[in-house]
Amino acid sequence: MTLPQPLPGWYKIWFGTIQLFGIVVPLVVMLLWGIAWGYNSVLTVLLWYFVMLGLQIVAEIVTLRKFHSVTWVMVPYLYLPYRIWQLYEGLGIIGSQPELMWVRNLLLFEIVLWTGNYILDVSRLPRLFNWPVQEDSLEVTKHN
């Protein structure tokens, strides 16, 4: 099996969006609420979020560069459901303190963001692996 085809141009925009809202924004929130303002619950949730995100990135790099395998494409399918669950559980850890409303909103936004990313990844599998697409399944048949 060969490595998947290059990604389309719009994917760079999506990837940039994921980096901004999936890495930079949570990092700023962790630094402000978790470290500067001392909310240990925020630090706990987001620190483990970054640990798992880092493990995913390392796993993708190792499978692609070290083993030259297409299994790197499958790595997110292992980590993303756990990340979504982790963020959901984080809502309970954060609690209902009014001063953490923005952190709760961030966690909800991250759940939506990573769920969308998961759906996008799954929808791209046929193209990545060059699976044949049945064009005739899209045609409407005429009955005389």
Segment 100-143, tens digit of pLDDT = 999 999 999 999 999 999 998 888 777 777 777 666 555 555 55
CA distance 56 to 138: 37
User: 3-state class of 91 per DSSP?
Assistant: helix
Reference 62, options 80, 74, 48; nearest CA is 74
CA distance 17 to 133: 29
pLDDT value of residue 3: 52
pTM, two decimals, is 0.83
Residue 73: Cβ within 10 Å count: 18
The residues, any chain, with a CB within 8 Å of residue 86's CB and separated by 6 or more, are: 45, 48, 49, 52
